[in-house]
Structure 1
């Protein structure tokens, strides 16, 4: 999708991915949603979005994602939700260059939706507050509020209750296995634990044991994820992000991360990226 050409007067926005450095399932609501506690970090792996406002009210996705119907595309849904909520008669042209792997647990679709909400709020001069955007974002997906929040966070609930957390600079080697994980399947799995002890607020300490309560279930169900996990396990203690499929290993230095990336990237779809402290939209 690198050969398309957005309109010259379209505004460009960087869309960062995320990792779940820790993810615990502490219960389930009456409506079936799982109650989580997680530590989110932004990472320098980006989708690219271009937006151009229109006056005729139409929302046009010029770069549809393969296999996704336009009306199901999160960018389109975000624009339509914002337009419906505010009653504006404005519209938008949207171009998306997808670099964050789909179905990897890196939040790419949610990140795209968040940027569309934030950017069109600015381009359409709607002046919604961040809290109002957060309320809209959770209607699109549990990870969307984090990207609107725009900084590393400890999240509770279904992911919408966010508190800033200070994280040290890290570099990550990420492997994306060639498999798509069904989040619904994992959440419904008989072996998934849902009784982790809630925490008030974690401290990020070197050597602290982080975990992902979905990881053992995914590793058992998806051999490709286990293979990627074992490839990184030769160099440290990897973890899975979200409900997978991506697994990652953290490093204190770029050189150490690059050395491991060089070893695993021949056999796997891999990335070597730095952590971020703030969303580029707010910088």
Structure 2
């Protein structure tokens, strides 16, 4: 148990270090935020973790020393500007690689799923989590509470009973506290959806000032982050959880939502090009885990054209 607690503390440091690393790249960072960072950095362990995160982000010297092809390069610059520019370029490339390889998320997350997997995880309290493809979670358990942060994607939770330790899932500014045993949370690009399949959850969306609401078994709540409004509707749990079978069942859903779900199972990127295309409507059951079949369904249903260039697919 002590080892688990130490791991959780370190993972928390990793998340904080990543957060500060990204904040500190903002040239307009407020003075008071810089002061908070200085206080946080006074802790030796925080400082060590931050330096590691800095190195991962793209320390040019570390990149050169770790890559034989770079280490063996010999140059004779004609001016002092060239080595400086070379170092800056290398630093930029390393930073871009860090971001492209999901470096910030890997530092923050305790579990991540790839585009071709939907893993089922057993937590230390006996709860079960199934993650959708391309999803990530961070776990923060202690003696008084159990918190899961859904950093991206979607996950289904079967919660082990422990009344003295509330079980909460956070997705952006949405908090879902289990009052029962089973529910699903989807952290989408524009909204957050919560589907309850057993008992009830307490939903808080939009920050502390927003009223909380109960979502019961057989209901789905959707919080629109742009409008700040939450809608609750009845839903068939089997249909709502079709993603566990690699499917998406939709009725008059916007194409942007459908493409987002297909994209979870695609290792590249799918782009919608053209006015109004995102709001075109789609109905049917789509096998999103099969990208080729899913896009073929969309092409036939809407008459759109698709162009693929390497890992990029453009729909127009």
TM-score normalised by structure 2 residue count: 0.26
Task: Considering fraction of residues, name the structure with more helix.
Answer: 2
When Rg is computed on C-alpha atoms for both structures, the one with the higher figure is: 2
Q: Which has the higher contact order (CA 8 A, sep 6+)?
A: 1
